[in-house]
Amino acid sequence: MDFSTLSDESLLALIARRRPEALEELYRRYSRMVYSLAIRMVAEPSVAEEITLDVFTRVWDKADSYRASRAQVNTWLTRIARNHAIDTLRRQNTRAAHVAGHWTDAEINAIPAKNNPEETTQLQLQRARVRAAVAQLPDNQRQALSLAFFGGYTHHQIAQTLNQPLGTVKTRIRSALKKLRHILSDDE
């Protein structure tokens, strides 16, 4: 069987039947996406590697529970990855706000890399769209969103870190997500 031609969902079905080749193929498609998110959040490569391993180990163990979640497979993977990373960050309790806090122009203006042949064109297009949407946010909204999304900070922690009133922070986050939802839904 040529695993590279199978859909993500078929791969998960085969993973649930303990076919290592299916997991290998899923890893080829999405390890870069998972690792990129993890290392952006935790900064430390060895920790990001552990998170990546945990994500795909969990896929191996829980592939049969995927159908219930209804998310796209790649979404499912990044959710697991982010939850793992937030757990790690909250346990460490020593997040570097300067790492999490700046969603830099360089990041959002980066052209999606073309050097990952396993990653579908569709996924690369999605990257470009999301970056363009984030680029449209005002700086202060982007910064608060970044602390929450990458740093796992709560409203209170963001307010402390930025030395801003709690209400201001709540508004920035809410406004940022509303705007992103609006822009991204237009794209679909």
Partner 1 sequence: MTLTHEQITELIPAFALDCLDDEETVAVTEHLPGCAACRAELESYQSTVDRLALAVPEVSPPPELQGRLMARVRPAAPVPPPAVPWWQKLAAQLRTTAPVWGAAALLVLLALGVSNLYLRQQLTDLQRPAMVDTMRTVSLRHTQPDSQATGIIIVSTDGEYGALIVEHLYPLPENQQYQLWLIDDNDTRISGAVFSVDDDGYRSVQIEEAPLPLEHYTRFGITVEPAGGSPGPTGQRVLAGSM
Compute the least distance from the CB of residue 105 to partner 1, in Å. Answer: 12
Compute the least distance from the CB of residue 55 to partner 1, in Å. Answer: 9
14 Cβ contact list (under 8 Å, min separation 6): 3, 6, 21, 22
- Contact residues for partner 1, defined by CB under 8 A: 20, 23-24, 27-28, 31-33, 35-37, 39-40, 45, 48-49, 52-53, 56-57, 60, 71, 75, 78-79, 81-82, 86, 103, 107-108, 110, 112-113, 116, 123, 126-127, 130-131, 133-134, 145, 148-149, 152-156, 158, 170, 173-174, 177-178, 180-181, 184
**Of 6 and 43, which CB lies nearer to partner 1 in the complex structure?**
43
**Of 66 and 153, which CB lies nearer to partner 1 in the complex structure?**
153
CA contacts within 13 A on the Cβ side of 114: 1
Compute the least distance from the CB of residue 57 to partner 1, in Å. Answer: 6
Distance CA 12, CA 18 (A): 10
**Of 40 and 164, which CB lies nearer to partner 1 in the complex structure?**
40
**Of 116 and 164, which CB lies nearer to partner 1 in the complex structure?**
116
Compute the least distance from the CB of residue 102 to partner 1, in Å. Answer: 12
Residues 131, 73 contacting (CB under 8 angstroms):
no
Angle between helices 20-42 and 45-62 (to 10 degrees): 140
**Of 20 and 165, which CB lies nearer to partner 1 in the complex structure?**
20
> CA-based angle 50:56:61, to the nearest 5?
120
- 51-73 burial, b at 16+ Cβ within 10 Å, e below that, comes to bbebbbebbbeebeebeeeeeeb
